[in-house]
Amino acid sequence: MSGVSTVILTTTDGGGLTNTTSFSLTVSPAQSTTTTPPTGFAITGVQTVSCETVSAGLRRVRFTPQYAGVTGQTISFRVENELAATTASCPYTLNLYTDNPAITLKAQQVGSGGEVSYRYNWLAACSAPARVGYTRGPDSTGGDRIGQPGGR
């Protein structure tokens, strides 16, 4: 709904004094918009390959950025304040401190315009519960054990 309304605001303090003010409020109809998914080169996500505890506040993280709009041209990748620009292949390995739980990944593909970025919450990815594998093998009672490598 659209239109113009007058808003009157009256306040009273603890001593009984009042003050009144008014203003006009105009409401316009919302414009219809269509959101188009991004096209062209982009970092769309990250695959966390591994996360190893080095010390109480330090992790070694291996990851692979996921891209859209790859044309086969060279991609230069960097991590803001952590890794200089490189064209080396994935996965990338960084030693990261837990007091910096998210890092900014940046990449540029030759011929695709400017640099694109993606915020990667590596600590949340490292904190995700590990999956328990199923390994079948005999135990000392002749039964099977589940979730233990080699069945032992």
In tens, the pLDDT along 17-37 reads 888 888 777 776 655 444 445
- Residue 99: give the domain boundaries: 42-127
Is the separation of the CB atoms in 101 and 122 below 8 Å? yes
> In the chain, what percentage of residues exceed pLDDT 70?
75
* 95 is a domain residue: yes
pLDDT category at 148 given cuts 50, 70, 90 is very low
The answer to the question of residue 70 being in a domain is yes
The domain spanning residue 80 has which CATH number? 2.60.40
69 is a domain residue: yes
The Cα angle at residue 73 between residues 68 and 79, in degrees rounded to 5: 65
pLDDT given for residue 144 in this prediction: 45
Q: Where are the alpha helices (DSSP H) in the chain?
A: 122-127
Residue 70 in this model has a pLDDT that exceeds 90: yes
**Which among 101, 97, 89, 87 is positioned nearest to 63, based on CA atoms?**
89
10 Cβ partners below 8 Å, 6+ apart? Answer: 18, 19, 20
Q: Is residue 145 part of a domain?
A: no
81 compared with 143, residue with greater pLDDT: 81
Does 38 score more than 60 pLDDT?
Answer: no
- In a domain, residue 81? The reply is yes
pLDDT digits (tens, 9 = 90+) for 133-147: 444 445 444 444 444
- With respect to residue 147, please indicate whether it lies within any of the assigned structural domains: no
Residue 143 lies in a domain: no
Q: Please give the model's pTM, rounded to 2 decimal places.
A: 0.60
Count of domains in the chain?
A: 1
Centroid of chain to Cα 11: 45
Quote the distance between the C-alpha of residue 143 and its chain's center: 44
Output the pLDDT for position 74. Answer: 94
- CA pair distance 20, 6, nearest whole angstrom: 13
Section 51-80 average pLDDT? 95
Per-residue pLDDT at 125? 92
